[in-house]
Structure 1
Amino acid sequence: MLALVGRNPADEGMSRFTLLMVGRRMHGERRAAGPLLAAGVLLTGLLVTVLVAAGLHAAQQDKAERVMDQRHAMAFAAVQTEIGRYRAMLEALAAGVSTQDELTWEKFDTATAPLDDAKLIGAAAMAYVAPVRTSELAAAQRRWRERGAEGLTLRAAAGRDEHYFAVFVRPLTDTEATVGGTDLASATELMAALDESRRIHATAVSDTYVLLRDRRKPVSAQQQSFVFAAPIWTRANTPEFRGWMVLGLRGRNFVSGVLDTISQGQLSGSIIATDSDGSKVTIADWSVPGEPDLTRQSLFDVGDRKWTLVTQADSGRLPGAGDHLPGLVLGGGALLSGLLAWLVWALATGRARARAQVEIATRELRETEAESSRQAGVLAAVLNTISDGVTVVDETGHMLVENPAGKRLMGTTVSNHHPEEWQQHYGVYRTDGKTPMPVGEMPLMRALAGEPSDGVELVIRNARRPEGVLISVDGRPLDPSAGLRGAVVVFRDITELRRYETDLQVFAGVVAHDLKAPLALARGHAEVALDDVAPGDPVHDRLVRIMQSTDRMDAMIDTLLAYTTARNAPLRITSVDLGVVVREVIDERVAHRAATWSIGPLPRVRADAAMLRHVLDNLVGNAFKYVRPGAVPSVEVSATPARQGWVRVEVADTGIGIPDGDKPRIFETFHRTEEAARYAGTGLGLAICRRIVERLGGEIGVADNPGGGTRFYFTLEEAPVPENADEDEEARVRAALDRALAERAAILEAAQLPGLGIPQPAEDQPLRAPRQERQRQD
């Protein structure tokens, strides 16, 4: 009582003021913590993303360096091999001519005829060059005419006592015949090579120059060339010099011909010759698109000259370094970090009674971000590119070519030339890894029979490959230009690819599942908060936007879950009335919009009703979504017979269409056309459709609609017509719908497969909490 009586009102007011100020300061500190926490999450996510992307980029660059070394070694070996082959052929011809007492045109023509089929890349002509002194010009001209050099006129240049004339000439690439008789003194480089060859009694190569036969061409058509000169000495005790066999090669044609196949459009190259005066001259170069950032060079001997082969490549165009994974990881990580930061900010600035739950959700989001970064690192480590194996056989199955990569993949070091022993020798099995693959079904044998094959998967298991390796094989009959019947196969190890795809599904499922919990929590608290705020209050609008945003993200997560489960979800194959499912999908789609549609006669098919409905809903939904502003959407569904026992279902629209350049990739994950990017979507819808159709044993594709727009088509196995086909239409439709709904519910309950339900369009969907099993149309 004494304390109450003695209480001062001024002191009581001061206490209330102090408590109010302390409460406001604490509230301000809590509000300031939200943006700081969001900024920390954003910076952490961006840092982790940049580190992962940098690691992937470094791995790709290392792969590009190894591939560049391999390609340069192949190009270097090819150039040396070709030059050695030309020199050997030239010296063989010179040796043969040296045995002739009198060289005539007929003998020269017979000796050089095989050159027409030798495919000498860049070779211009083969010529026999004879030395003639000035005092013997008339006699030499008469003698060579008698030996078959019709129309030969020896035109000697002034100032020399001895002249060199091309008497017999066989063009190898030019269509016009060449008449000899020109004094070669005007080509000082050629003269020097001839003199050097005669002096050293061996083949010599000239400095680079423009061939005499090319100097009549426009300057743009001329190119640096060189010649090989082989001296002709008789084999008598006292050798007598008869002349030279000369082979002219055009540098640009030679380099492009040798490197064209090896480079595969990825390798630029040039050959630099060191002339007799020590100067370096580029004989020719070969370029491909790109910005070269890798360079290799090798020095080799050509006759008495030193040449250098220089190769360059754009690392981004080499195998294993040209994909966009680092960019995708960087963009995806930045997007995820920004989204997480936004969620943290939204939750941290909510009402006071939800602050404790917001802190829990923030911790869960941070853990999700860390797990996502860890999974990204695991996936980056799994990514691995390997070289392809190549095997070529003749018509009897004899191994003509089996490259080192092929032997390594097949796990053997000894080739087997007997097709009937291939299965036991290499250990070839079907993809189950247990069933031996019959020899007649092997891609190599199918190619020998004239049947090409692509993407044939099989397992190799033998003593050196006890764990087994899954490879993908492409086979083709050997091109007739090879001069023999045979076959070629190209195969690659796809074991790691399959493991990568499996890990990606697990990763996507884990990320999506872990994101749904905090989303549901955030939306639940926003909905509770909405009940206490009057309409028209700015806070009311913000809460509504939060709920709509969580709904959109929840739909994106459901689409991601549908994509990851569409490959392995259990199938319940039944007889499905295609017409009933199509009418149900279209009725739901046109309920709240103006549209025109047409349904042709549709048969019954064997399929999983819920998954088939997802495919049709996606294709029909795209037809209604991807239309130009102001246009009325239109869709037409029809079916025609395909191969025996199968039907082809077509969904045609009059929308914005798909460019030809995007059609081959339209069913790939996250691929969207430039124009479609202006519409809402994730880029997973058509990828899910392809997975479902392929699991049902069919094929899916896209083409232009003749009336404008796009025409999607897919094939399904036709189901037999039931005996009670004449039952009442309304009862049959109701039964089919009940079966489809029951099947879908069973799948969702037994396998917990999200992504098979179809919600209302976003603009018509009421505000509600996200569900774990819900599918949104892309």
Structure 2
Amino acid sequence: METVRSLHILVIEDDADTRANLRDILELDDHRVEVATSAAEAMARDNWASISAIILDRRLPDTTADELLPRLRRVAPDAAVIIVTGYLDLQGAVSALRHGATDYILKPIDPDDLRTRLGRIAKIQGTGDKLKRQAEIIRSLLENATDAIIVVDVQGRVLLSNPAVERLIGPLRVGAPPEEWGALGKAYRPDAASTDSRREPPLARALRREPVTDEEVFVRRLEPHSGRWMSVNASPICVDGVIKGAVIIYRDITERKRAEEELRRERDLAEGLIDAAPAVVVLLSPEGRIVRYNHFAEDLSGYRAEEVLGQDFFETLLPRRDRVRIREVFRKTLDEVETNGTANAIVTKSGREREIRWSNRVLKNAEGKIVGVLALGQDFTDLKEAQERALHAERLAAIGEMVAGLAHESRNALQRSQACLEMLALHVQDRPKAIGLIDRLQQAQDHLHHLYEDVRGYAAPIRLERRLCKLAEIWREAWADLKPQWAGRAVTLVESGEDPDQRCAVDPFRLGQVFHNILENALSACVDPVKIEVGCTRIEVDGVPLLRVAVRDNGPGVGPEHRERIFEPFYTTKTKGTGLGMAIARRIIEAHGGQIAAGQAAGQGAEIVITLPQGEP
């Protein structure tokens, strides 16, 4: 048998036997029982709030059930009333039910029938108690909710609204039709007084079974300048699959929108500063991949942002020699060790290197976790080159001063030596062996004189007198000056390229020295038959138009160990010479703003490549 929850029952019965019988039955079922013999005795109590059920005799000495029921309903509105009658009186039962009775039962009372009726009352009251508790919870939630909540029926009339509605949207009465309250929640454009006609009201969509979720709208109140941003949620209320109404919730997100707008402005400002910064700005993930790459970095490196985003910074931009060292610097930065001032080269898309000095800062999220490294780099390539040129100039000036002093001090000695050699030659004209020794002394003295002149020429400042010239004419003239060296040999000079007569703003005398030196070295290095090829082409590096001149020969070539050193002062692979020729050539080309290097000749032979800006004089 189903267990019936215990009830607090008041029995109002004037018959003692019936009263005792009812008490026994009820107490046997663990109900709490109170009794009264008359209406007056019953109404004299003050604990009506605890009474769950009342068993009322149809006829009492001092009144009838029809007269007492309205009074009982007032003092115990939640108590169920069962009328007990001794005879079948259908009309009386209907009258009692009309006056507020819950049920009726006939005498003599059947205990099982009574238990059934009380069990039904207990179940109903238990459900009612749950509903009351739920209603209290809902009421408390509505009253304390910061969101505006509106419940409407299927016609859009207001059934319920909470206090937040008036604060956020405006005053709203129960029963208000949609045309009255709907204007309060209309979506407006934030910068205009007109409604946003592109948006259909959330209520209309909810009543079509189209839930509205977190839709952001700008809602204006009736007062001027009182609009607020709202997040709207709306959904239908369905009973057995039939739409009975809808619930609409407005959440004030004005502060959030203001914070988002402020954050957007700050982000736009930061983005603008990053893009406008005259420095390399790179944002790296903790794994060293490129996340952000500003315009200056694009212009400096030649890589567009979309080409490097997501790529490994070290493998993409650093020369191989620096990768291990800079990865270690990056690791220390992630460990929040000071690494500002670190310098390294980056390799541009064209293959050139730029020297960058970095300032690094770790970036953290709201939880304090490191999410990346912001690297700000200053390009000091030009400064470094200027410093190197200044240092080089100081060294050259020192060499020049030393050579000038040496030449001054040695001039008299050389002149005396020269005079003595000439006089000695006159005295030993008839002695061939002595004449041979004098010639060797003369050659040594001439070599010493040329050595002084070469060093003095290398140390002297280079002053250019530029004019627009045909490069081919310059190297042809240099080749003609070398005729004593190639005349009578199997030598061929070949010109190639798009247009051999390319024009360039150069100093023809100085550039002639360069070509003379290169061609002379080629003639010295090659054995017959000699083939020397000179080619001139137009190229572009980082958007700058240049002329590229390549001189190739079919000699033994330049080994990897000599490629850079051949341009060092006093370095030579020949048995004769000072080793200053290519060093002077580099100074002349760099004075023109160009570059000279040993190229990678295809097959046998050496290649010297000159790159010159194709500018105006």
TM-score normalized with structure 2 length: 0.37
Structure possessing the higher relative contact order (Cα contacts under 8 Å, 6 or more residues apart): 1
Larger Rg: 2
